[in-house]
Structure 1
Amino acid sequence: MNRIYLAGIAFLLVLAAGCSGPSEQETVEENMTHADLADFVREAAAYAEAAGEDAALAEFNNEAGGFSRGALYVYAYDYNGALLAHPYEKDAIGSNRGNWTDVRGLPVIRIGTHTAANGGGYITYLYPAPDDGGINESAVETYIPKIGYVAPAGETWWVASGVYLSDVAGPGTEPYPEPVSAMVDLVERGAAYGREQEAEAAFAEISNASGMFVDSEEHYLYAYDYNGTLLAHPHLQASIGTSLIERQDPFGMENIRALRDTAESGGGFIVFIWPNPEQENRDELKIGYVLPVDETWWVGSGVYLSEITGEDTVLP
């Protein structure tokens, strides 16, 4: 028997002995890392293999089950986008959510399906936190970044879970992991600078590849107007003055439009797909943060998912 199957058998024995108590569940969540998350999802996939699909889905749908630990839980989909299990979205079970997007338009289920079909791996997206035992996907203001992990559970379905970005922050990096905190700080400084300076002077500084808005890790600031015209960028000089509002990623998300809409609504986090120059310009999920400068332009920056996980997360 392989290691994953043995892990599933071991988990069946744990269930037979009774679920862990609340204090243990809280400890799991408080100490969760992205690596722990991946192990948790692989454990669920192993349990599905050992117990069979029907028993596994019943367990994943159980709010008091071994795979539901507060804000940490397993959900499951088939490869056609039908929701098979979710302890906090039971009314949606059986519905097709293949085209569901997060609040900024990221097609999360399609990306999860694609990743699972290619062996599994990390994803990232925005999702509301559970409130009073449920999740309100209509509550736009409650969406916050999550790191997810997906794994195939069989030939026809897959399992996943996620951890809120604030829960994987280590000591001294709160409220987010260090690359994200640094990126948010960069955008906040850039927006403040843009309000203090003449626009043309701000654009020149943002476009300076060795300027104050390109850090030691090569994170950089960019600026657009609300028509999607690129105003400043240290690495896309040839595109400055061009509207990129119609740009689409491989999944059809118009990411510049989505970034613009986020800034126009007051700013905040957004997840989108963008080529990673460190990975031969292959597409990768990116956690972005944008802020309006004034009524005519806005600034943003981003961190690739691999910078948080330390693993190759380019989309296959």
Structure 2
Amino acid sequence: MKEWHLIGMACLLILAAGCSGQGGQGNAGENQTHADPAGFVREAAAFAESAGKDAALAEFGNASGRFSRGSLYIYACDYNGTLLAHPYASEAVGANRGNWTDVRGLPAIRIGAATAANGGGYIAYLYPTPENGSIDEAAEETSLPKIVYVAPAGETWWVASGSYLSGAAGPGTEPYPEPVSAMIDLVERGAAYGRDHGRATAFRAISNQTGTFVDAAGHYLYAYDYNGTLLAHPYLQAAVGSNLIERQDPFGMKNIRALRDTARDGGGFVVFVWPNPDRGNREELKIGYVLPVDETWWVGSGVYLSEITGVDASFPSP
């Protein structure tokens, strides 16, 4: 159990930095919310430019300073993955977490650094929820999606902030932003349909582009077996029957394997990189959700990060 307040993980790429969902406006004088960290992060980057790196890092590391607002606070990392400042984990400053991955293998710090180097933007990752003021980075059962905003603070370092995805839905909503809630519902309905109607009927329904498992926004269900063989897909029917377990994204994550492992463990969220056809097939983080149907196959669906933030979250390949 590591005592990094809310995300420590050094920089976690912002990780902790966490999150938000609706693309940031807001300025230094406004009350920032979890749903709007972008303005907060931009404010921090502007402060770093005016005050200088040393003064900025001292302020970012001050738990009583202007950039520590309860659970919304600034982290700073360099482009090698070294944590430069954290208001609640001073003991971790100087640690290099460049090779850190979330519980499903997403290299979040490298993705954060790449996003900051490209001018800044949103990222997402899985991270355990805090318990008793500490974080167990190996606690898969408490890991939930976070959305983070990152921005360059200078030529060699960047800053970030954010929160858990459930906090991005806004007051009076439960428990996730609408696209994510709809995705979860789609997967739950698909898993139940598969159990009730059997493989052959379910595969036909899942592969039907005008059927019940493709919604008006184009979100769809897919099915795999536990060896990684694609069993049904409405848009990749030529790939049905292919084993994709070793498919690897540009950052080195084997995303089908990660999705399969999550389903095999009982289901849940996975954050991974996938080409977005609405963005010219540029790579983008996608929040996926999977559930087992039985001991032989599973179903899943996903939502691109830009659908949650309303901001283009695609990036060039590393």
Normalising by structure 2, we get a TM-score of 0.87
The answer on 1:315 being equivalent to 2:286 is no
Counting only pairs closer than 5 Å after superposition, residues 298-313 of structure 1 correspond to structure 2 as: 298-313=298-313
Aligned equivalents of 1:139 and 1:50: distance in 2? 40
The residue that corresponds to 1:67 in the other structure is: 67
Q: Is 2:29 the counterpart of 1:37?
A: no
Q: Output one character per residue of 1:42-64: Cα deviation in whole Å (capped at 9) or x when no partner.
A: 01111111222122212222223
Q: Tell me, in whole angstroms, the C-alpha distance in 2 between the residues paired with 1:149 and 1:237.
A: 36
Tell me the distance in 2 between the aligned counterparts of 1:237 and 1:86: 47
Q: State the shift of 1:171 in Å.
A: 5.3
Worse-matched range after superposition: 168-177 or 179-188: 168-177
1:65 Cα deviation after fit: 2.3
Query: For 1:111-134, what per-residue CA distance to the aligned partner results, in whole angstroms no more than 9, with x for missing partners?
Result: 001011111111111122333333
Distance 1:173 1:236 in 2: 34
Unaligned runs of 5+ in 2: 1-26
State the match for 2:117 in structure 1.
117
Aligned positions of 1:256-271 closer than 5 A: 256-271=256-271
1:217 match: 217
Single out whichever of 296-305 and 134-143 deviates more from structure 2. 134-143
1:228-243 alignment runs, 5 A limit = 228-243=228-243
Match of 1:131 in 2: 131
Q: Helix, strand or coil for the counterpart of 1:106?
A: coil
**Which residue in the other structure is 1:93 paired with?**
93
The Cα shift of 1:173 comes to: 4.1
2:169 equivalent to 1:169: yes
Q: Does 1:107 align with 2:107?
A: yes
| Cα deviation code 1:230-265 (max 9, x no counterpart) | 000000001101100000000000000000011111
Contact (CA 8 Å) 1:225, 1:231: kept in 2 or not? yes
Distance 1:138 1:65 in 2: 30
Q: Which residue of the partner structure matches residue 154 of structure 2? A: 154
Shift of 1:84: 0.9
2:283 aligns to what? 283
Q: Which residue of 1 aligns with 2:206?
A: 206
Name the CA distance, whole Å, in 2 between partners of 1:165 and 1:238: 34
Q: Which residue of 2 aligns with 1:4?
A: none
Cα–Cα, structure 1 residues 103 and 109, in superposed 2: closer, same or farther, change >3 Å?
same
Instruction: Name the stretch that deviates more: 185-194 or 171-180.
Output: 171-180
Inter-partner Cα distance in structure 2 for 1:139 and 1:222: 27
Most deviating of 98-107 and 45-54: 45-54
Amino acid at match of 2:300: G
Taking the aligned partners of 1:129 and 1:64, their CA distance within structure 2 comes to: 23
Superposition deviation, residue 69 in structure 1: 2.2
Partner AA of 1:124 in structure 2: A
Residue 301 of structure 1: CA displacement?
Answer: 0.2
Q: Tell me which moved more, 245-254 or 127-136.
A: 127-136
Shift of 1:143: 1.4
Query: Across the two proteins, how many residue pairs are aligned to each other?
Result: 290
Instruction: Find the residue that maps to 1:95 and give its secondary structure.
Output: coil
Higher relative contact order (CA 8 A, sep 6+): 2
Q: Which residue of 1 aligns with 2:196?
A: 196
**Counterpart in 2 of 1:21?**
none
Contact 2:32 2:40 in 1 (8 A): no
Between the aligned residues of both structures, percent identity stands at 74
1:279 positional shift? 1.4
Matches of 1:151 and 1:28, distance apart in 2: 17
Whole-Å separation in 1 of the counterparts to 2:139 and 2:67: 25
Structure 1 or 2, whichever has the larger Rg, is 1
Q: Which amino acid aligns with 2:73?
A: Y
Secondary structure at 2:314's aligned position in 1? coil
Larger deviation: 61-70 or 147-156?
61-70
Whether the 8 Å contact between 2:118 and 2:315 is mirrored in structure 1 is: no
Amino acid at match of 1:236: L
- Judged with a 3 Å threshold, the aligned counterparts in structure 2 of structure 1 residues 86 and 128 are, in CA distance, closer, same or farther, namely farther
Select the structure that is richer in helix. 1
Partner of 2:46: 46
